[in-house]
Structure 1
């Protein structure tokens, strides 16, 4: 599913939710006439959609940086995103009497805003799971000590056939790294990436001897490392496709012994 099609699908679902909420009239809104009630929920959901659409991306980034569960990070982002949405909606609903809005008014509407935001976020998660879990393929970089593509693919197929078999055919090839996303693992290859329903430890076990678990959420192939970047006490591995992968502090000593944190890329 392309980004445009997914956006239209989300907006269609949002329109359906507006009609359902206007018909049901939850949170005491049923006492309002249908026209104003429809406008009430349209304003609420459209405003919530504008603020909550970035929540999944923000939660995913937080999970990578903090090494926490992606769902927990998304929930935290959702709770935080409800604050600006709530403020805008309450003041917009007050209209000319906006000066009379009190802290108790904001607090009373926050739960309703959070429920709406959580609904919008769940819609996006469902759309994400329903989409083809593949990202656009980046330009194919050259591997250190390259070998013919067929031979490379054959080598990967011999070592991890189960993992590669779950990738779309056009993405199968040398695996650069694995990224943990809740119950899924995003497999990054030379040709792009895709989500696979597998536990991280099981995916890593299939690639034993080819790389290292450098972080709670990341495994990196030895031959994919092009260098390392240090920021204060934190390290990141720079891969041959330009990606930077965080290194857990507990892994720094082991990776230094392996030569992964030196100026030159580690030997294959």
Structure 2
């Protein structure tokens, strides 16, 4: 739900939009006295905006896609706002013809979509939770498999290649003779994740995770990428990566 500061921002936005429309005088309202426009336009925009915010909070937030949320809120709020505008227009401009009601619906929808669109753009996207800290334990047993050059390097990932392991570090990669299962056992206490049947990645080397057409991809330090299978995605999800 929106907090008090967000609601205050929305009210200021709607009032400013109402004053702008009062000065602009769209849809023939320019012929009305300025005092009438200054009461009419801020009144219907703020009143309609309150209806729109209520609709958005109650139903719009169910849509993860911001475009679907914007369309839903703009359409769903239009009937109620039309009733409000019809009564306000009767006060400000006098009775209108029945056939003008269809023009009113379109005008209300256009303005509602514009106001809700600006509100949507101003809303901050939800921040991704930071990964939970993981207690780092020694990986000395695994490092003994590496050459002297890579033994003290930063460990980024381990990739299985047939009966060998390709160990990726910040000093480059090295091929060692070992089973992937043995490497996982030796890295069991180290902060990291098995992300695929043939990949393990160090937690502090992960820079991002993304999904494409049902397949995951891990972005690692040094420009390295690793596949993420659905079977092994649970650990990354529990740590807050997606």
Q: Is the CA contact 2:44–2:88 (under 8 Å) kept in the aligned structure 1?
A: no
Following superposition, the deviation at residue 85 of structure 1 comes to 0.8
**Aligned-residue CA RMSD in angstroms?**
4.2
Q: Which runs of 5+ in 1 are unaligned?
A: 138-146, 165-197, 213-219, 226-240, 242-268
Pick the structure with greater CA Rg.
2
Q: Residue 202 of structure 2 corresponds to which residue in structure 1?
A: 158
CA distance 1:125–1:149, change in 2 (3 Å): same
Listed one character per residue, the Cα deviations across residues 214-250 of structure 1 (whole Å, up to 9, x for unaligned) are: xxxxxx726879xxxxxxxxxxxxxxx9xxxxxxxxx
Following superposition, the deviation at residue 74 of structure 1 comes to 2.7
- The answer to whether the aligner puts 1:114 opposite 2:115 as a matched pair is no
- The answer to whether the aligner puts 1:124 opposite 2:119 as a matched pair is yes
Q: Is the CA contact 2:22–2:38 (under 8 Å) kept in the aligned structure 1?
A: yes
CA distance 1:211–1:104, change in 2 (3 Å): farther
Counting helix residues as a fraction of each chain, which structure ranks higher?
A: 1
Q: Is the CA contact 1:48–1:113 (under 8 Å) kept in the aligned structure 2?
A: no
CA distance 1:201–1:43, change in 2 (3 Å): same
Following superposition, the deviation at residue 78 of structure 1 comes to 1.3
Following superposition, the deviation at residue 33 of structure 1 comes to 0.9
Q: Is the CA contact 1:59–1:77 (under 8 Å) kept in the aligned structure 2?
A: yes
CA distance 1:74–1:111, change in 2 (3 Å): same
Q: Is the CA contact 1:10–1:127 (under 8 Å) kept in the aligned structure 2?
A: no
- The answer to whether the aligner puts 1:59 opposite 2:71 as a matched pair is no
Following superposition, the deviation at residue 97 of structure 1 comes to 11
Q: For 2:98 and 2:4, how far apart are their aligned partners in 1?
A: 39
Q: Residue 44 of structure 1 corresponds to which residue in structure 2?
A: 44
Listed one character per residue, the Cα deviations across residues 149-194 of structure 1 (whole Å, up to 9, x for unaligned) are: 3349932672672227xxxxxxxxxxxxxxxxxxxxxxxxxxxxxx
* TM-score, scaled relative to structure 2: 0.54
Following superposition, the deviation at residue 30 of structure 1 comes to 0.9
1:163-202 → structure 2 map (5 Å cutoff): 163=208
Q: For 2:33 and 2:214, how far apart are their aligned partners in 1?
A: 56
